A and B are shown apart, each in its own frame.
Chain A
Amino acid sequence: MLSTVLLFREALYGALVIALACSVLGVYVVLRRIVFVGAAIAQLSSAGIALALFLAGTGVIGSFAGHTTAFALAFALAGAMFFGLGGGQRAGVPPDATIGVSYAVAAAAGILLISKAASGEAHDIFLSGNILGITRGDTLVLLAVTIPVLVVHALFYKEFLFVSFDRETARTLGYRVTFWNLFLYFTLGLVIAFAMQFAGVLLVFDFLVLPAVTGLMLARSMRAIFTVSVASALLAAVIGFSLSVPFDLPSGPAIIAVSGLLVAIAWSVRRMQHRG
């Protein structure tokens, strides 16, 4: 079993990098109650990839892999900025409705574009991803995105925390709340755009939400939540991946199943603590 897993170790490394990046940002996603913003950005990103493939099929752009990344990034960042600025609240539309509209339209647009793309790639690749296809080069690209994002989050932890916890007071102390919010959403869009291309919408959504929920249930401080979130994401990636390869299961759903199991264990532990 170990030898089979080692055969796909590059894919495992890639999954671990995605798990690390998403589980750190996921703490803000869960605490700020914007979990479906993560899903919508991932879906927008997938629509960007679909558009790149469609345009490549029609000959408007070349079939260079960088194009799909550029389109994924552009769509994800556009979505992140849109949601970071309030997502249509000024027009009187409730934020969750805007997220729903974005998700549905992006998903449908992605499917329609892919169905007409010459490359003929199945659209469900965006939903379930292709973790096993991650190469050493892909992992290095993921690291090149993840490391700066994590450094930014370590350096500006105070600022991201303050504008997330109490934006009114932050504003009175001279913080440019809109800037810091957009910066936070920008890092989210960046990570999702790159992670989405390998992990798919579903697994990215999982890594953004479930580990942070596990952390929230087990930990009593911000530092502990980050620690538990990262640890549970890495654990789910290792266990899910290791089980999926020898048993010929799809890796993404296997990792998500382990994440779900960890949430259930955390929930049980918390209930026991409350009873005790």
Chain B
Amino acid sequence: MTALISFDHATLGYGRRVVLSDISFDIPPGDFLGLVGPNGAGKTTILRAILGSLMPIEGTVVEAPGLRFGYVPQRDSVDYGFPLKVLDVVLMGRYDRIGLMRRPSRADRDLASAALDHVGVGHLADQQLNALSGGQKQRVLIARALVGQPNVLVLDEPTNGMDLVSTTQILGLVRELHERDNLTVLMVSHALNEVANYVNRIALVVEGGFRIGTVAEIMNEETLTQMYGIPVDVDEMHGHRIVVARRTAPEGMPIVKVGGRDA
């Protein structure tokens, strides 16, 4: 199967400053990849290389011809001070197809309405974007990414600042879009615990280190302890993997056993 995006021994950085060196991986069609790591580790650098706004210093980043991204930006990069209706925001996802000096057609509006229906917020089409909740805004931005009929849906920290309910709903929606439409998804996040239970594969970026594999290959104590450089436990609860940094007791403080486990 031909990869949609292929990194071949790519070294990425800005000017002379190398952020990540010699990384190789493919994103095949139908993949659901979580690009995970702490802030400042290099996730955005990889994302920029994927989106074509950053050229590799060495090696290559090759994209399949005609590849089209549907991009969902971080919520705070959108200016909610603009008094825009939801439908008008979604229409922006078709601006490049509409072209210069032309207005959205009836067909564009129908596609925008269908995209809103697809993510479950069709009834909000005439509402002001800035009057919506965080979860609703995120659905609108996902609809805008979908209306351009992309090959790859890219989400940048889609659950940042959301509560538990909204986070679960948004991640569930993205998973549903991936399964229902066989959509290739790349989700960037700093929250390993959130992402790990929804994606098929994880690319972990930690302070210059890069590791990619299936969830099982990444979400284990050996790999994570090695990547993060601190002892890490991976527990499983109701089928969900949960990563916890092992707490070390301050010097001189005895470790108290509670219910057979260290407290």
Least CB distance, B80 to chain A, in whole angstroms = 9
Least CB distance, B154 to chain A, in whole angstroms = 8
Find out whether the CB atom of B83 lies under 8 angstroms from the CB atom of A220: yes
**Segment among A64-72, A165-173, A196-204 that sits at the interface with chain B:** A165-173
A115 contacts the other chain (Cβ, under 8 Å)? no
Query: Of B83, B101, B148, which one neighbours A219 at CB under 8 angstroms?
Result: B83
Find out whether the CB atom of A173 lies under 8 angstroms from the CB atom of B82: no
Find out whether the CB atom of B100 lies under 8 angstroms from the CB atom of A159: yes
Find out whether the CB atom of A171 lies under 8 angstroms from the CB atom of B53: yes
B77 contacts the other chain (Cβ, under 8 Å)? yes
B73 contacts the other chain (Cβ, under 8 Å)? yes
Find out whether the CB atom of A31 lies under 8 angstroms from the CB atom of B81: yes
B255 contacts the other chain (Cβ, under 8 Å)? no
Q: Which residue of A lies closest to B145 (CB)?
A: A169
Query: Of A156, A158, A167, A224, which one neighbours B98 at CB under 8 angstroms?
Result: A158
A276 contacts the other chain (Cβ, under 8 Å)? no
Query: Of A161, A165, A171, A221, which one neighbours B78 at CB under 8 angstroms?
Result: A165
Least CB distance, B66 to chain A, in whole angstroms = 13
A33 contacts the other chain (Cβ, under 8 Å)? yes
CB neighbours of B100 from chain A (8 A) = 155-156, 159
CB neighbours of B156 from chain A (8 A) = 168
Least CB distance, A217 to chain B, in whole angstroms = 11
Query: For chain B, which range describes its interface: under 10, 10 to 19, 20 to 34, or 35 or more residues?
Result: 20 to 34
From DSSP, what is the main secondary structure of chain B's interface residues?
mixed
A92 contacts the other chain (Cβ, under 8 Å)? no
CB neighbours of B95 from chain A (8 A) = 158-159, 162, 170, 173, 175
Cα A161 to Cα B83 in complex, Å, equals 11
Cβ < 8 Å to A, chain B residues 101-134: 101, 103, 128
A225 contacts the other chain (Cβ, under 8 Å)? yes
Cα A248 to Cα B73 in complex, Å, equals 55
CB neighbours of A158 from chain B (8 A) = 92, 95, 98, 103
18 other A-B residue contacts (CB within 8 Å) besides A161-B82, A165-B89, A166-B79: A155-B101, A156-B100, A162-B92, A165-B79, A165-B82, A166-B78, A168-B73, A169-B71, A170-B92, A172-B154, A173-B71, A175-B95, A216-B83, A219-B83, A220-B83, A221-B83, A222-B82, A222-B83
A-B contact pairs, 22 of them (CB 8 A): A31-B81, A159-B100, A162-B92, A164-B82, A165-B82, A165-B84, A165-B89, A166-B73, A166-B77, A167-B77, A168-B71, A169-B71, A169-B144, A171-B53, A173-B93, A173-B96, A173-B148, A216-B83, A220-B128, A222-B83, A222-B88, A225-B83
